[in-house]
Structure 1
Amino acid sequence: MRKIFSQSSYILASLLIVMLIVAVVPTFAQDATGANTGTINDITAATPGKPTTEEIAAQAGHNKIAINIMWTLLAGFLVMFMQAGFALVETGFTQKKNVAHTMGMNFMVYAIGMFGFWICGFAFMFGGALNAATIGGAPGVIPHEYVINIFGHDFGILGSVGFFLNSDVYDVGVFTLFLFQMVFMDTTATIPTGSMAERWSFKSFMIFGFFISMFVYPIYGNWVWGGGWLATLGSNFGLGHGHVDFAGSSVVHLVGGVAALAGAIVIGPRIGKYGKDGTVNTIPGHNIPMAILGTFILALGWFGFNPGSTLAGGDFRIAIVAVNTMMAGTAGTLSALIYMYIKGMKPDPGMLCNGLLAGLVAITAPCAFVNSISSVIIGFVAGILVIVVYNFLDRKLKIDDPVGAFAVHGANGAWGCLALGLFADGSYGDGWNGVAGPVKGLFYGDSSQFLAEIIGVVTCFVFVFPVMYFFFKLSNKITPIRVKEADEIAGLDIPEMGVVGYVD
């Protein structure tokens, strides 16, 4: 045995010596530095190794678009992962007897919303402006926008190309745009699942998922991002660059927040939330660590949300956008903490999470147009605003919003757009919405930009709230919007979903 062991040791030592020699002795057959990887021979040419000027230019153009498409898709994948963050945040902030139900809504809104957007939402939103220069788009893809003429100007209302992503838009650029914008829409659609949690009928929720993804979100989105009338306030009426929203403070968050507010009002508060004498009873969430983990996932996804909205991996502004996003979010957390201490409160982890999310929502519109100091101010205001608005709705108006959906997304979606109209510093945005020159806010000399932001925010409230309020009223006639009282008291997991979230 000792002899066999000695032979094995000798063989092992020999192998190690050979491996070490191979590892340290330089060889030159490979390209460890990458200097010789990707040469003139890799350019597609009629004569291999001898490309013409036109062939080199075509390759450069192809590579530019390829980089932009890859960047946009990767950013979209990050935004899709935010759905996991929303699910964890909302579920953690609600009671454990409703875990399967809350998780189920956050899961199914992805599938329902995607199909609704695929059917007609994408066409309504971008069918009038499908040629995105940074991600390609074949010349054969011809967009068309329905317009009405008012005061001698065309007001874009609705796109009309791209239903079911049919053969007319069978194009790499269009498909890239669809994926990226679909996950944005999904963020909007999931916001009301928080404000209406713990009492919303799953069947009613499914009807809502199709309605908001097919009509409400796309219509307002068309007005801002699809070449519609809010985007052309600058070119038509000289109001700055029109309503500017870089990554969705109004289009995504304000639309979702206002819808959440309408839904919370129509469905009413949870049983036991408010006493007959006007007392406000706290219904604590069951898992704060889950909510905090979800918040971190959302913060990560926001690096796809905001920087990804450049739609261009070669746009160096990505760095500015990413840092501003990070700074505003953390500023919101710190200001929420400071505010709670000033008010003699304990540092509630739930409110700290909402402070971070509020800062991220607020910076989403102005992230590309402001400097870091402004981003900190914007986030700082957002962290206080979310607490003030949440307490006002909860204590004064008796509107039960279990996760603070409107305070986070609605109030701070509006603040984010107004902040752009104040703090845009003129360092970015030349030609935005067809207007020459960079985007400047009130504090940098363009009061008209601030007015355009006000118009966009007011329009969102005026359009989305009544539409969603009457939708919830009407859908209640189709199938009850609220679950039975006994089911709400017992928990919705078994009555609505047929399974329990936790097996005790």
Structure 2
Amino acid sequence: MEVSWETSVTDSINAIYLLFSAYLVFMMQLGFAMLCAGSVRAKNAMNIMLTNVVDAVVGSLSYFLFGFAFAFGGGADSNPFIGTQYFALKDIPSSSYDYSFFLYQWAFAIAVAGITSGSIAERTQFSAYLVFSFFLTGFVYPIVAHWVWSSNGWLNPASTSLLFGSGSIDFAGSGVVHLVGGIAGLWGALIEGPRVGRFDAFGKPVQMRGHNMTLVVLGTFLLWFGWFGFNPGSFNKILVSYPDSFDQGNWTAVGRTAVTTTLSGSTAGIVTLFGRRLLVGHWDALDVCNGVLGGFVAITSGCSVVEPWAAIVCGFFAACVLIGLNIIAIKLQYDDPLEAAQLHGGCGAWGLIFTGLFAKEEFVIQTYNSGNIGITRPYGLLLGGGWGLIGAQIVEVVTIMVWVSVTMGPLFYLLHKLRILRISSDEEIAGLDISSHGGYAYNAYSEESGPQRYGDYLRLQDQS
């Protein structure tokens, strides 16, 4: 079949944009690695770097073999709740962008495991990472992605049968990616329990600060950069799944999405900075970094359908959610070294609710019904759009929490019962680097304190 010159150029530009966005999202893995490494103690730095690499390589195989098919597969056995059970790249949405679209979705999938690993850092056996990362990336996350992003998913806002006449708007994954990773991490951290020494005999928290704030800040900026592929790049989902609806209006919205992302993250960062200053009495770089990321997580759902001013509202309340959940976590003696469950889970849930409150009708139609004149559909409740959208958003929040709980909760519990989830107290005190990986990440740290720590570890082993 002869293809016009205009069509060929358009397809080429779309494919380039799709791949470039995939590269940006993949760069977020480097951001996660730097952020996590800087947030843990030096004796666990090598372990956390290794687990971040494992999340990517194991996730690549599981998503290729199973995940992509569950998320976006079609065919006679496909339904609104689960995709095809064939292997990856079978019955993909569009033959024009099959491999490019796969790469983009793969970059999203491996980010989920990185979120979860932060919650159980510094006390988890390496073998457990291999198991939960494979299962999360290959099955748990793809099912949620199918619900929301597949063209026939039951929560999809552009499917033929819309939930509450609206469908759930989760444009880039506040729920699909971040809430899934956050709830999975919550169960892992709850089942493992706090790190040794995190709370004293009276239940009071003992501060365990990360060893390198430079890496934390570097990781934050790398994640910020990658988020421009995560959010504006998510117009690729519409491009591939609904190519006929992608017109000039969508391209105009790409820039607006980048702006709303920036404003939400910036607002959350500054509110968290001042809020924590009032609570603890000093300025902390870690607080502003986590606040920025919380704002990004929250706006990820509605970044394409809200005004810039609404993004500022989103970031303000995302900071409040993060600060509040961290206070509750301390009171409940819940230990999450990266604040991953609070940040990704809490702010992700808020982002979905925020979209149901502030989505603008014009932008909703532009994003999901472009080119169709006269279409009306539910939009933000506070803007007069009725209860349809906010109802669908709440359903997504609840459904994701239940789904991840009934899949990842039992998995972590099984690993715990098999004694392959948490390391021993002796190993934890010595540090995962020396007890599991043969040496420390830093030569200076190893030369100064490594022999003593390793000798203590060996003596404890002999005594046991």
TM-score by length of 2: 0.87
Structure 2 counterparts to residues 319-330 of structure 1, below 5 A: 319-330=255-266
SS at match of 1:199: coil
Classify 1:305/1:162 alpha carbon distance in 2 versus 1 (closer, same or farther; 3 Å).
farther
Tell me which residue corresponds to 1:487. Answer: 427
Equivalent of 1:443, from 375, 378, 382? Answer: 382
Structure 2 counterparts to residues 187-198 of structure 1, below 5 A: 187-198=111-122
Please report how far the alpha carbon of residue 443 of structure 1 lies from its aligned counterpart in structure 2 after TM superposition.
Answer: 1.5
Structure 2 counterpart of 1:348, which letter? Answer: D
Task: Supply the distance in 2 between the matched residues of 1:303 and 1:391 (Cα, whole angstroms).
Answer: 30
Classify 1:439/1:69 alpha carbon distance in 2 versus 1 (closer, same or farther; 3 Å).
farther
2:263 touches 2:311 (CA, 8 Å); kept in 1?
Answer: yes
The superposition leaves residues 290-314 of structure 1 with CA deviations (integer Å, 9 ceiling, x where unpaired) of: 1011001000000010000011596
Classify 1:238/1:357 alpha carbon distance in 2 versus 1 (closer, same or farther; 3 Å).
closer
Please report how far the alpha carbon of residue 341 of structure 1 lies from its aligned counterpart in structure 2 after TM superposition.
Answer: 3.2
The superposition leaves residues 408-467 of structure 1 with CA deviations (integer Å, 9 ceiling, x where unpaired) of: 100000011111000001122328677943662101222210111000001111111232
Tell me which residue corresponds to 1:392. Answer: 328
Structure 2 counterparts to residues 205-224 of structure 1, below 5 A: 205-224=129-148
Classify 1:350/1:71 alpha carbon distance in 2 versus 1 (closer, same or farther; 3 Å).
same
SS at match of 2:362: coil
Report sequence identity in percent.
36
Please report how far the alpha carbon of residue 175 of structure 1 lies from its aligned counterpart in structure 2 after TM superposition.
Answer: 1.2
Equivalent of 1:269, from 188, 194, 210? Answer: 194
- Work out whether 1:107 is the aligned partner of 2:46: no
Equivalent of 2:227, from 280, 302, 325? Answer: 302
Task: Supply the distance in 2 between the matched residues of 1:278 and 1:477 (Cα, whole angstroms).
Answer: 26
- Work out whether 1:247 is the aligned partner of 2:168: no
Q: CA RMSD in A?
A: 2.2
Tell me which residue corresponds to 1:91. Answer: 37
Deviates more, 1:426-435 or 1:357-366: 426-435
Structure 2 counterpart of 1:304, which letter? Answer: G
Classify 1:266/1:328 alpha carbon distance in 2 versus 1 (closer, same or farther; 3 Å).
same
Task: Supply the distance in 2 between the matched residues of 1:431 and 1:249 (Cα, whole angstroms).
Answer: 20
Equivalent of 2:105, from 174, 177, 181? Answer: 181
Tell me which residue corresponds to 2:78. Answer: 146
Tell me which residue corresponds to 1:43. Answer: none
Task: Supply the distance in 2 between the matched residues of 1:475 and 1:456 (Cα, whole angstroms).
Answer: 28
Structure 2 counterpart of 1:450, which letter? Answer: I
SS at match of 2:81: strand
Task: Supply the distance in 1 between the matched residues of 2:335 and 2:15 (Cα, whole angstroms).
Answer: 42
SS at match of 2:441: coil
- Work out whether 1:159 is the aligned partner of 2:79: no
Tell me which residue corresponds to 2:20. Answer: 74
Deviates more, 1:358-367 or 1:467-476: 467-476
Structure 2 counterpart of 1:443, which letter? Answer: L
- Work out whether 1:410 is the aligned partner of 2:345: yes
Structure 2 counterpart of 1:425, which letter? Answer: K
Task: Supply the distance in 1 between the matched residues of 2:263 and 2:91 (Cα, whole angstroms).
Answer: 43
SS at match of 2:394: helix
The superposition leaves residues 451-495 of structure 1 with CA deviations (integer Å, 9 ceiling, x where unpaired) of: 110000011111112321111111334551011211110010122
Structure 2 counterpart of 1:189, which letter? Answer: A
Equivalent of 2:310, from 374, 381, 396? Answer: 374
The superposition leaves residues 55-95 of structure 1 with CA deviations (integer Å, 9 ceiling, x where unpaired) of: 6x711112112111110110110110110110111111110
Task: Supply the distance in 1 between the matched residues of 2:166 and 2:199 (Cα, whole angstroms).
Answer: 46
Structure 2 counterparts to residues 109-128 of structure 1, below 5 A: 109-128=55-74
Task: Supply the distance in 2 between the matched residues of 1:171 and 1:238 (Cα, whole angstroms).
Answer: 28
Task: Supply the distance in 2 between the matched residues of 1:245 and 1:168 (Cα, whole angstroms).
Answer: 21
2:158 touches 2:368 (CA, 8 Å); kept in 1?
Answer: no
Please report how far the alpha carbon of residue 392 of structure 1 lies from its aligned counterpart in structure 2 after TM superposition.
Answer: 0.9
Provide structure 1 residue ranges, at least 5 long, that are not aligned to the other structure.
1-53, 129-142, 148-155
Task: Supply the distance in 1 between the matched residues of 2:395 and 2:78 (Cα, whole angstroms).
Answer: 21
Structure 2 counterparts to residues 2-41 of structure 1, below 5 A: none
Task: Supply the distance in 2 between the matched residues of 1:172 and 1:191 (Cα, whole angstroms).
Answer: 32
Task: Supply the distance in 1 between the matched residues of 2:124 and 2:215 (Cα, whole angstroms).
Answer: 22
- Work out whether 1:455 is the aligned partner of 2:385: no
Task: Supply the distance in 1 between the matched residues of 2:418 and 2:327 (Cα, whole angstroms).
Answer: 33
Task: Supply the distance in 1 between the matched residues of 2:113 and 2:434 (Cα, whole angstroms).
Answer: 24
Task: Supply the distance in 2 between the matched residues of 1:238 and 1:229 (Cα, whole angstroms).
Answer: 7
Task: Supply the distance in 1 between the matched residues of 2:299 and 2:325 (Cα, whole angstroms).
Answer: 18
- Work out whether 1:425 is the aligned partner of 2:360: yes
Q: Considering fraction of residues, name the structure with more helix.
A: 2
Equivalent of 1:331, from 246, 267, 271? Answer: 267
Structure 2 counterparts to residues 282-301 of structure 1, below 5 A: 282-301=207-226
Deviates more, 1:404-413 or 1:490-499: 490-499
1:82 touches 1:301 (CA, 8 Å); kept in 2?
Answer: yes
Classify 1:477/1:233 alpha carbon distance in 2 versus 1 (closer, same or farther; 3 Å).
farther
2:174 touches 2:297 (CA, 8 Å); kept in 1?
Answer: yes
Classify 1:344/1:463 alpha carbon distance in 2 versus 1 (closer, same or farther; 3 Å).
same
